[in-house]
Amino acid sequence: MRAQPAINTLEHVKPDSVSKHSEFKLNKCEQHQTITMKAAVAVSILFALAIGCLMANPGNAISCGDVDVSLGSCIPYLKGQQPEPADQCCSGVRRLKDMAVTTADKQSACECVKAAAARLQNLKDECVCALPGQCGAPLPFPLSRSFDCSK
C-alpha cells in the first residue's frame, strides 16, 4: 500500500501545537512592528536634532568675506564717485539682505559692515545711509559706523 499524503487541516494538528504556532507568528509580527516603531522613532529623533542644529547654528553664518564680496562694488558710490549705485552693487545689497535671516546673521553682517567702513577712507555718510533705500532693499540694520549691532 501506498502512503497517503498528509492533509494540512487543523483536524490533524494537535491543539497545543496550533496555539504555540500562532503565538510564534504573533510574536514575529510584534517584533517586526516593534523594530519598525523603533526605527521610526530613531529617524524622528535624528530629524529633530538636525533641525535643531540648523536653527541654533545654521552653519552658513555670514562672514565678513561674504559682506565684502556683496558690497565691494558699492565703494565708488559710497565714496561719492558715482551719483547712484551700480546694478551689481544693488544685487549685492539684496544678496546681503537675503543672507541676513537669523539674529546672529544680522549681528554678524552689521559688525562686518562696521569693520569694512572703518577700513575704508573717504566714505560719504549720506551715501552709506542711503544705499539700502537707493537699491530698494532695506537691510534689517542701518548702515552706520556707530550703530550698536548687539541690539
DSSP per-residue string spanning the chain = -PPPPPP-SGGGS-HHHHHHHHHHHHHHHHHHHHHHHHHHHHHHHHHHHHHHHHHH--S-PPPHHHHHHHHGGGHHHHTTSSSS--HHHHHHHHHHHHH--SHHHHHHHHHHHHHHHHHSSS--HHHHHHHHHHTT---SS---SS--TT-
What is the reported pLDDT for 73? 97
What is the reported pLDDT for 28? 63
| Residue 118 grid cell | 572703518
What is the reported pLDDT for 9? 47
Ranges in the chain, pLDDT < 50: 8-13, 22-24, 39-58
What is the reported pLDDT for 15? 52
> Cα torsion for 53, 58, 60, 64, to the nearest 10°?
-130
What is the reported pLDDT for 47? 38
**For 140, phi and psi rounded to 5 degrees?**
-75, 5
The model scores a pTM over 0.95: no
What is the reported pLDDT for 144? 79
What is the reported pLDDT for 94? 96
What is the reported pLDDT for 61? 79
What is the reported pLDDT for 53? 38
What is the reported pLDDT for 150? 87
Distances (CA, A) of 61 to 27, 50, 98, 109: 50, 16, 12, 9
